[in-house]
Amino acid sequence: MLRSVLAPLLYTLLAASLAAAAEPKAWVREHLDDLVRFYRELHQAPELSFHEKQTAEKLAAELRAVGAKVTTNIGGYGVVGILENGPGPRLMLRTDMDALPVVENTQLAYSSRVKVKDDAGAEVGVMHACGHDIHMTNLIGVARYLAANKDLWSGTVMFLCQPAEERGSGAKRMLQDGCFDRFFKPDFSLAVHVDGTLAAGSVGYRAGPTLANVDSVDITIRGRGGHGAYPHTTIDPIVQAARLVLDLQTIVSREIKPTHPSVITVGSIHGGAKHNVIADTCHLQITVRSFNDAVRKHLLAAIERKAKATAASSGAPEPTIVVSEGTPSMHNDEKLVERVVPVLRRALGDDKVVPSEASMGGEDYSEYGLAGVPIFMFRLGSVDAQRLAGFERLGQEPPSLHSPVYYPDAEETLSTGVIATSAAVLDLLPPKKSS
C-alpha cells in the first residue's frame, strides 16, 4: 500500500528534478567551465576582419558537433549552421567573429599576443577588444544547450557567424552572397553585445532606434609641396587640413537641429614627413554618426562642401573624398522586444534587466533588419559590479570597448548571456504539444 502511494510521488519528484536540470540556469552551472575555456581559446587567437579563417573553422566544427548542418565561406569566412527540431518558427542567432588591430594591455594570463601584417602591410597587434569572443562563446553555449534539450523547443535555428563587423560590411556581404536565399529568411533574430559600462549579471534593452548610422570618410587634401623656408612658393595642404578640421565642427553645431544627435570626428590626420618640407598632400580619416537618414545625407554633403570650399579658398586642387564602410542605424523591433524582455526578467530577475539609452555606436546587425527580419540585440553587462564601483570611487570611466585594457569578467558575463539567450529561444520556439 505504501509503495503504491509513494511511487507516483517519487515519479513526480524525479520528473521535476529532470525538468529543472534541463533549465538554462542548471545547464549553465554544469557547463560553464567548458565555455570559459572555449572563450579563452578564442581570446588568445584573434583574427582581423576578412581574415577569420581559423575562427570560422573552429565555430563550424562546434556547430557540426551539436548536429547542425553547416555551410562555410559565405560572404568571406561567414558560417551558417542550421539546427532543425520539428515544425515551428525559424529563428536566427547571430555572432560576429573579427577582432581589432589593437595591442592588448590587460595583463591577463590568457591575453592575446598575436601580431600580424594588416592589409596595408603594417605590423599590428590583434585583440578581441569589443567582446566578439564573448559573443561567439555565447552562441556556441546556446547551440550546445538547445541540442541537449530538444524536448523543450520546436522549430529551426540558424546560427549565423559573421565576418568583418568591425569593417561594417560583413553582414552585407553575407546577404549579397544569398544567405537568406540559400537557406531561409528567419521569422526573427536575436543577438547580444557586451557593454563595458553595465554590471556583469545584467542585460540592457531598448526598442526602436538603438545604434547610429556610421560612415567613414577619407579626404585627401591636395596642395603644392616645397621648402618650408619658402612657403610662398607652395600651397600648404596641412594648413588647409587644420582649417577644415575646425570648419567641420560647425556642421553639427550650426547646420543640424539640436534634437537630432550627430557626430563628426576626425580620428586621423597625416601629412608631411620632415620639419622643413611642405608636403603635396594631407590625409584625413573621419567617422560620421547619426540616427536620421536625412541628417546622414546632410552631414556627408556638408563635409564634401566644406572640403571643396577649403581647397578653393587656398587656390588648391579639389580634394579627393571617399565615403566607405557605412552601416545603417539599428532598429530593434518593438514587438520582438516587448515579447522577449519579460522572458529575460523571469530568467534573470527584474533588477537585472534594465533599459538602455540609444548609442552613437554602430553595428551592421542592422542590415538583417533592413532585409526584413525583426531583430533584437540586447546589451550584455560584462564588468563585475565591484570593479565598476572601483572606477567610480576613483572618478574614472571604465575602459571603453576597443580599449587595449578592456576585458570582460567572463564567467558571470557568459553565464548571464547563455541563460538569457536560451530562455528567449525557448519562448520564441515553444515545443509542439502532442495530440
pLDDT in tens, 262-285: 999 999 999 999 999 999 999 999
The per-residue pLDDT for range 87-112, each reduced to its tens digit, is: 999 999 999 999 999 999 999 999 99
pLDDT at 314 > cutoff 60: yes
Average pLDDT over residues 212-220: 96
pLDDT at 26 > cutoff 70: yes
Average pLDDT over residues 365-372: 97
List, in order, residues 6 or more apart from 330 with CB less than 8 Å away: 209, 210, 211, 362, 363, 365, 366, 369, 375, 377
All structural domains of the chain = 24-212+329-428 (3.40.630.10), 213-327 (3.30.70.360)
List, in order, residues 6 or more apart from 208 with CB less than 8 Å away: 331, 332, 334
Helix or strand run (H / E) with residue 149: none
Q: What percent of the chain has pLDDT over 90?
A: 92
Average pLDDT over residues 7-30: 63
Q: What CA–CA distance (Å, rounded) separates 244 from 234?
A: 18
Q: What CA–CA distance (Å, rounded) separates 110 from 411?
A: 14
pLDDT at 17 > cutoff 60: no
Helix or strand run (H / E) with residue 184: none
Q: What CA–CA distance (Å, rounded) separates 136 from 327?
A: 21
Per-residue DSSP letter, 403: -
Decide: helix, strand or coil at residue 357. coil
Q: Where are the alpha helices (DSSP H) in 44-84?
A: 53-65
Give the E-state strand segments of 272-384 in sequence order: 277-278, 281-290, 320-327, 330-332, 353-355, 375-383
Provide long-range contacts, Cβ within 8 A and 24+ apart, for 52-59: 52/76, 52/77, 52/97, 52/98, 52/163, 52/164, 53/77, 55/97, 55/98, 55/136, 56/97, 56/161, 56/163, 59/95, 59/97, 59/136, 59/139, 59/140, 59/161
> Which pLDDT score is estimated for 18?
43
Per-residue DSSP letter, 298: H
pLDDT at 13 > cutoff 80: no
> Which pLDDT score is estimated for 434?
61
> Which pLDDT score is estimated for 258?
95
pLDDT at 336 > cutoff 50: yes
Q: What CA–CA distance (Å, rounded) separates 358 from 364?
A: 16
Q: What residue has cell string 540609444?
A: 358
Decide: helix, strand or coil at residue 221. strand
Q: What is the mean pLDDT of the chain?
A: 94
Half-sphere exposure of 346 toward its Cβ, with a 13 Å CA cutoff?
13
Question: Within 10 A of 391 (CB to CB), how many other CB atoms are there?
Answer: 14
Q: What percent of the chain has pLDDT over 70?
A: 95
The per-residue pLDDT for range 110-163, each reduced to its tens digit, is: 999 999 999 989 999 999 999 999 999 999 999 999 999 999 999 999 999 999
> Which pLDDT score is estimated for 325?
72
> Which pLDDT score is estimated for 301?
98
Beta bridge partners of 81: 70, 159
Confidence tier at 326 by pLDDT (50, 70, 90): confident
CB–CB of 91/187 below 8 Å? yes
Q: Which amino acid, 322?
A: V
> Which pLDDT score is estimated for 324?
87
Grid coordinates given for 74? 559565405
pLDDT at 4 > cutoff 70: no
CA distances from 287 to 126, 256, 389 (A): 21, 16, 32
> Which pLDDT score is estimated for 250?
97
Residues in the chain: 435
pLDDT at 231 > cutoff 90: yes
Per-residue DSSP letter, 113: -
Q: What CA–CA distance (Å, rounded) separates 97 from 397?
A: 27
List, in order, residues 6 or more apart from 32 with CB less than 8 Å away: 411, 414, 415
CB–CB of 320/355 below 8 Å? no
The per-residue pLDDT for range 39-62, each reduced to its tens digit, is: 999 999 999 999 999 999 999 999
Q: What CA–CA distance (Å, rounded) separates 182 from 156?
A: 15
Q: What residue has cell string 570559459?
A: 36
Q: How far apart are the first and last CA of the chain?
A: 34
pTM of the model: 0.90
pLDDT at 226 > cutoff 80: yes
Provide long-range contacts, Cβ within 8 A and 24+ apart, for 65-69: 66/143, 66/144, 66/146, 66/147, 67/147, 68/143, 68/147, 68/159
Confidence tier at 435 by pLDDT (50, 70, 90): low
pLDDT at 1 > cutoff 60: no
Beta bridge partners of 290: 213, 262
Q: What residue has cell string 558537433?
A: 65
CB–CB of 81/15 below 8 Å? no
pLDDT at 25 > cutoff 60: yes
CB–CB of 421/192 below 8 Å? yes
> Which pLDDT score is estimated for 22?
80
